[in-house]
Amino acid sequence: MSALRGRGGTAVVEAPTCRRSEQNPIIARERKMHAIEVSGISKEFFKWESANKKKDVNGEADGARKSWFARKLPHRTKVTALEDVSFHVKPGEIFGLLGPNGSGKSTLIRILSTLLIPDAGEVRILGRDVVKDIYEVQRLINRVSVDAAFFKKLSAHENLIYAARLYGVPSNKVQALAKEILGKIAFDLDRYLDPLEDFSRGMQQKVAIARALLTSPIVLLLDEPTTGLDPKSKREVQAFLLDVRKENDATIILTTHDMDEADRLCDRIGIIDKGKIIALDTSEGLKSMVLDDLNGGAKDKKITDITLEDVFLHLTGGILKNEEAE
């Protein structure tokens, strides 16, 4: 973590006292530990490149030296998705993960979701290892991904009851619970028995959110959950997530491209680029850090106000810095 930029790392909004922790002594005890601990995670993938692409990458001179087979056949290249990523998330915290496309956000979410095994490092959710204690971890988590993946021919009810059964939620409670959740995010309940294929993307995403919350996860992994929602629905979902955190003591990891959303919801934000966490702080801490950087330590600060989007662009592409320099 020493390589991380930022200075307000301790200024985390503490989660409010919650009903669930009071009721459950085990959860209350576990509040003392980190909800999520990511230590030195690395992940590489191999991709097959076509012979033509290889020629472009290696150049004619390099290609000419190699054998006919080496030049003509596709070859495997290594892509680093995550490199020595470490951070922790406190119980009840909403932790934002921002990064450009292909920066490794979804890879990280997949590792936390037990869908990917890291090459190196360790991830613990409430003290349980995501590789070794897979079954226990799976009972604690749920995920909403950017693509609302469902059996599209089945109705919202059929999809939700299927998901609920997999997590051991009593089937007689599913409908009431699902309708309660869907009602809070302004889902048209008259469409509850309609096939998902007839729903707009926004409506499908609302069902996806209900599917994740039906199982009362202690850790909720949200991979761009509001992408595709209209501004009103987006606000409703965001308000609902704050409610979930408050009432259920859920710890949330949120990846998003919506900077206002991150600013509004997240207690701390990690910015990931090319598989590395390049900054981690509260929104205010990040802004302050970038302001200092842009003003170059000068006493008469030329730039006094900055948005999270400016921070993101400055840290991941240097666009703002260049613009200001001009």
In angstroms, what is the minimal distance from the CB of 70 to other proteins? 23
In the sheet that 268-273 helps form, which strands lie side by side, from edge to edge?
141-144, 219-223, 251-255, 94-98, 268-273, 276-281
Among 145, 226, 238, 256, binds other proteins (CB under 8 A): 145
Collapse the DSSP code of 182 into the 3-class scheme (helix H, G, I; strand E, B; otherwise coil) and give the result.
helix
Among 26, 61, 176, 325, binds other proteins (CB under 8 A): 26
Among 9, 63, 121, 195, binds other proteins (CB under 8 A): 195
Part of the chain binding other proteins (CB under 8 A), chosen from 113-121, 186-194, 239-247, 294-302? 113-121
State the Cα–Cα distance between residues 211 and 94, nearest whole angstrom.
19
Part of the chain binding other proteins (CB under 8 A), chosen from 8-16, 165-173, 183-191, 231-239? 165-173
69 binds other proteins per the rule CB under 8 A? no
Alpha helices (runs of H) in 117-220, residue ranges in sequence order: 134-140, 156-166, 171-184, 201-214
State the Cα–Cα distance between residues 6 and 33, nearest whole angstrom.
23
Part of the chain binding other proteins (CB under 8 A), chosen from 86-94, 110-118, 176-184, 312-320? 110-118
136 binds other proteins per the rule CB under 8 A? yes
Collapse the DSSP code of 31 into the 3-class scheme (helix H, G, I; strand E, B; otherwise coil) and give the result.
coil
154 binds other proteins per the rule CB under 8 A? yes
Contact 89, 41 (CB under 8 A): no
Largest CA distance in the chain: 70
State the Cα–Cα distance between residues 27 and 120, nearest whole angstrom.
29
Exposed/middle/buried for residue 129 (C-beta within 10 Å: 0-12, 13-18, 19+): middle
Which positions from 202 to 241 touch other proteins by CB under 8 A, shown as an x/- string?
---------------------x------------------
Which positions from 290 to 319 touch other proteins by CB under 8 A, shown as an x/- string?
------------------------------
Q: Kindly list the distances between the CA atom of residue 275 and the CA atoms of 5, 147, 192, 260, 263, in Å, as whole numbers in the listed order.
A: 15, 22, 40, 23, 22
All residues at 6 or more sequence positions from 82 whose CB lies less than 8 Å from its CB, including other chains: 41, 42, 43, 104, 107, 108, 111, 118, 275, 276
262 binds other proteins per the rule CB under 8 A? no
Where do we find the tokens 């729903």? 199
Among 16, 23, 29, 70, binds other proteins (CB under 8 A): 29
Task: Using the minimum distance from each CB to other proteins, give the nearer residue, 165 or 201.
Answer: 165
In angstroms, what is the minimal distance from the CB of 139 to other proteins? 5
46 binds other proteins per the rule CB under 8 A? yes
127 binds other proteins per the rule CB under 8 A? yes
Among 12, 51, 162, 321, binds other proteins (CB under 8 A): 162
Interface with other proteins by CB under 8 A: which residues?
Answer: 26, 29-30, 45-46, 106-107, 110, 113-117, 126-127, 135-136, 138-139, 141-143, 145-147, 149-154, 158, 161-163, 165-168, 195, 223
